[in-house]
Chain A
Amino acid sequence: MIKIENLHASIDGQPILKGINLEVKPGEVHAIMGPNGSGKSTLASVLAGREEYEITEGSVTFEGKDLLDLGAEDRAREGIFLAFQYPVEIPGVSNINFLKTAINEIRKYRGEEPIPAKDFLKLVKEKSALVELDNSLASRSVNEGFSGGEKKRNEIFQMAMLEPKLSILDETDSGLDIDALRIVANGVNKLKSADNASIVITHYQRLLDYIVPDFVHVLYNGKIIKSGPKELALELEEKGYDWLKKDQVIEA
């Protein structure tokens, strides 16, 4: 589905990603872990199309298309979804209204008719129930005055509404209480299919108890320094990252 090869990205001349290689196939869940500042959010942003980053080397193909050639909106329309680590508040823009616009622009891109109002409302009802998002939150301004947990839930609600092929969840578990974590994870699991895939960025094994990954990768200093099965996450939880960092120095 997505193939990232030797991806290098920098901001203001400062290299952040230093040669990422990663392939995700349909139906797979990949977890990315790694210490603070290692470049996880940067990778997510680069994939979503944030323009501040300069791609200095490498390539990303998404379903056979050169992803780096597309603007952020076209990537979303192709089926990439980023659940932000820090969702922005947008006062005055209603969640529902913007989602309707989003859905219709995506449909238009795919040569489809706008969604009938009735179907849209049905979708909102169904998907907000999935993540147990209060109806009033769905119609409020985007994230404005939402609690940390509500913002994260809203991200998953939007993901459910847009039905992406590849979802990238950037620390969607941070700031969630146990119940919310379960709800969000359940939501993600229910949306899982053989045709879509996800990249789950997290610091905690806890989330991976719910969303079971097929692969776990460790990102450190802009590179994936280790990949393994889901058990790797447990090992990391136990031992931290230091043992890997040491390896890294030796390798270098």
Chain B
Amino acid sequence: MSEIATMNVKEQFLSTFGVQDFHFDTEASKAARNEATKRIEGLEFPTSKTEYWKYTRINRIVKAEYKIAESTTTIDITPFLIEGMEKNVMVFVNGFYRADISTITSQEGVIACALSEAKEKHADLFNAYFSKYLPTDEIFANINTAFHQDGAFIHFAKKQKADQPIHILNLVEGDQIITNPRNLIIGEAFSEGKVVTSYHNLNGGKSFTNAVNECFAAENSYLEFNKLQEEDGTSFHIATDQVQQEKSGNFTINTFTFNGDIVRNNLNIAVAGENGYTSLNGFYLPKEKQLVDNHTRVDHLVPHCESHELYRGVIDDKATAVFNGKVMVHRDAQKTNAFQANNNVLLSDDATINSKPELEIYADDVKCSHGSTIGQLDEEAIFYLRARGLSEDSAIRLLLNAFAADVLEHVGIESFRQLIEEKIENGLKK
């Protein structure tokens, strides 16, 4: 007892992972875990004084007690399926792969398997890409590397166009569950692929998902990565999305956050090859006392690239949203076009938004813009619609759907887009 009492928060938190046995892991994976573990020793959890985490207090996340629990129960996944994407659903429950309830339809040139399997079967790829560009100084990303259970490994081979998008379905079953899901997505040169990863709770509970997604978009690849976060309102989610984009690639990432006590997304995109096109978008809809924090960073490292960022949110009740979008145009990145916008609608007087678009430009021949807006719904428009017979409710929905539409147009999977549209509608109670 006394020993536990003297443990600090970090030790206490990390002790949860002691039960995990990585005995069967590959040497390369074990080495990555060990390195991360060593780095963690020198790192602390961010505090309110840590600039990068200023608005998001993670005390409640790291002081809670969690357990790791593999689940073998029968689970009906149908409520979580996305129409038209049922043929490729990789299911993870509490972070562990459930082959028994997953469906993978083989597609030419596409590998979709559990990361644990890829570590052996596709060791060359795993070793080449795993943890390659992940920030070394962020404790949560390191914790994931050190203690990840499993995740999806998706590989689109050179010149292959995957017709069917792949759904990575993450479910949490039980109370106080901690998961470290880890996805690795690789689009080889001239490949084309679309992926959705979604996060849900099966039954209530204060769980914590500490996710890492690594995406590699090789030259002339066309990759779309969608995230749907709709865990319970009592759950925590911290995600690190690390993207490396090469020459003439086209990369899109869309992040939709509907629920979660505290949700934090750290998105880092390195535009490392010329003529790249990057699109990063988000929509968030926090309510009650929830907090959604999107920290994005785009590094333009080379010339002639274009990035478009659009994050929008509707904040209700006493909820808080944070948007911090940094675009760094490095010295060599001449002829960069970088556009960033963050628009917010506050539905209540107690809702809060902290919006901070940041543009740092070290090249002289660039075209960049950024802007953020905060507003209420247009009362005149609501009256106009009501005067035509729409209820106030329908009028508000129409306006909010219109507000979300500019974000949703970046979703290339039609049925997923419709699903998000519905979720936005349903997310607006009143």
Q: A92-B406, A98-B398 are in contact. Are A87 and B390 (CB under 8 A)?
A: no
What are the 9 tightest A-B residue pairs by CB atom distance, in nearest-first order? A92-B402, A76-B389, A72-B386, A102-B389, A106-B389, A102-B388, A73-B386, A93-B402, A88-B380
On chain B, the residues within 8 Å of A234 by CB distance are: none
Quick one: CB contact mask for B385-399 with A, threshold 8 Å, 1 for yes?
Answer: 111111110100011
On chain A, the residues within 8 Å of B99 by CB distance are: none
Q: A93-B399, A98-B398, A101-B398 are in contact. Are A88 and B381 (CB under 8 A)?
A: yes
Scan residues 135-181 of chain A and give those whose CB is less than 8 A from a CB of chain B: 141-142, 158, 162
Q: Is B403 an interface residue (CB 8 A)?
A: yes
Q: Is the CB of B402 within 8 A of A71?
A: no
Q: Is B384 an interface residue (CB 8 A)?
A: yes
Q: Is the CB of B403 within 8 A of A98?
A: no
Q: Is the CB of B387 within 8 A of A76?
A: yes
Q: Is the CB of B387 within 8 A of A99?
A: no
Q: Which residue of B lies closest to A51 (CB)?
A: B383
Q: Which residues of A are interface residues toward B (Cβ below 8 A)?
A: 48-51, 71-73, 75-77, 81-82, 84, 87-88, 90-93, 97-99, 101-103, 105-106, 109, 141-142, 158, 162
On chain B, the residues within 8 Å of A97 by CB distance are: 398
CA distance A102 to B381 in the complex (A): 14
Distance between A88 CB and nearest chain B CB, rounded to angstroms: 5
Q: Is the CB of B403 within 8 A of A48?
A: no
Q: Which residue of A lies closest to B405 (CB)?
A: A92
Q: Is B11 an interface residue (CB 8 A)?
A: no
Scan residues 244-260 of chain B and give those whose CB is less than 8 A from a CB of chain A: none
CA distance A88 to B398 in the complex (A): 15
On chain A, the residues within 8 Å of B390 by CB distance are: 73, 98, 101-102, 105
On chain A, the residues within 8 Å of B401 by CB distance are: 92-93
Q: Is B360 an interface residue (CB 8 A)?
A: no
Q: Is B378 an interface residue (CB 8 A)?
A: yes
On chain A, the residues within 8 Å of B378 by CB distance are: 88, 90
CA distance A90 to B398 in the complex (A): 10
Q: Can you name 10 extra interface pairs (CB under 8 A) apart from A71-B392, A73-B391?
A: A49-B386, A50-B383, A73-B390, A88-B380, A90-B384, A98-B398, A102-B390, A109-B389, A141-B402, A142-B384
Q: Which residue of A lies closest to B392 (CB)?
A: A73
CA distance A71 to B387 in the complex (A): 9
A-B contact count (CB 8 A): 76
Q: Which residue of B lies closest to A144 (CB)?
A: B402
Q: Is the CB of A76 within 8 A of B388?
A: yes
CA distance A92 to B424 in the complex (A): 15
Q: A84-B384, A98-B385 are in contact. Are A90 and B402 (CB under 8 A)?
A: yes
Q: Is the CB of A72 within 8 A of B383?
A: yes
CA distance A13 to B238 in the complex (A): 51
On chain B, the residues within 8 Å of A50 by CB distance are: 383
Distance between A220 CB and nearest chain B CB, rounded to angstroms: 26
Q: Looking at A48, A73, A105, which has the most chain B CB atoms within 10 Å of its CB?
A: A73
CA distance A15 to B387 in the complex (A): 23
On chain A, the residues within 8 Å of B403 by CB distance are: 92
Q: Looking at B387, B390, B398, B399, which has the most chain A CB atoms within 10 Å of its CB?
A: B387
On chain B, the residues within 8 Å of A93 by CB distance are: 381, 385, 398-399, 401-402
Which of B387, B398, B406 makes the CB contact (< 8 A) with A48? Answer: B387
On chain B, the residues within 8 Å of A91 by CB distance are: 402
On chain B, the residues within 8 Å of A75 by CB distance are: 387
Quick one: CB contact mask for B205-248 with A, threshold 8 Å, 1 for yes?
Answer: 00000000000000000000000000000000000000000000
CA distance A87 to B389 in the complex (A): 16
Q: A50-B383, A90-B399 are in contact. Are A98 and B405 (CB under 8 A)?
A: no
Q: Is the CB of B388 within 8 A of A99?
A: yes
CA distance A142 to B388 in the complex (A): 12
On chain B, the residues within 8 Å of A48 by CB distance are: 387
Q: A92-B406, A93-B399 are in contact. Are A162 and B387 (CB under 8 A)?
A: no
Quick one: CB contact mask for B363-395 with A, threshold 8 Å, 1 for yes?
Answer: 000000000000000101101111111111010
On chain A, the residues within 8 Å of B384 by CB distance are: 84, 87-88, 90, 142
Q: Which residue of B lies closest to A99 (CB)?
A: B388
Which of B394, B405, B406 makes the CB contact (< 8 A) with A105? Answer: B394
Q: Which residue of B lies closest to A141 (CB)?
A: B402
Interchain residue pairs with CB less than 8 A apart (18)? A49-B386, A72-B386, A73-B390, A73-B391, A75-B387, A76-B387, A88-B378, A88-B380, A92-B399, A93-B399, A93-B401, A93-B402, A97-B398, A98-B385, A98-B388, A102-B389, A102-B390, A106-B389
Distance between B385 CB and nearest chain A CB, rounded to angstroms: 6
Which of A71, A84, A87, A142 makes the CB contact (< 8 A) with B386? Answer: A71
On chain A, the residues within 8 Å of B388 by CB distance are: 76, 98-99, 102, 158, 162
CA distance A51 to B379 in the complex (A): 11
Distance between B207 CB and nearest chain A CB, rounded to angstroms: 36
Distance between A14 CB and nearest chain B CB, rounded to angstroms: 19
On chain A, the residues within 8 Å of B394 by CB distance are: 101, 105
On chain B, the residues within 8 Å of A72 by CB distance are: 383, 386-387
Q: Looking at A77, A88, A141, A162, which has the most chain B CB atoms within 10 Å of its CB?
A: A88
CA distance A109 to B386 in the complex (A): 13
On chain A, the residues within 8 Å of B399 by CB distance are: 90, 92-93
Q: Which residue of B lies closest to A80 (CB)?
A: B387
CA distance A187 to B174 in the complex (A): 64
On chain A, the residues within 8 Å of B380 by CB distance are: 88
CA distance A125 to B391 in the complex (A): 26
Q: Which residue of B lies closest to A83 (CB)?
A: B387
Q: Which residue of B lies closest to A105 (CB)?
A: B389
On chain B, the residues within 8 Å of A51 by CB distance are: 383
Which of A81, A82, A90 makes the CB contact (< 8 A) with B381? Answer: A90
Q: Is the CB of A90 within 8 A of B385?
A: yes
Q: Which residue of B lies closest to A72 (CB)?
A: B386
CA distance A142 to B391 in the complex (A): 17
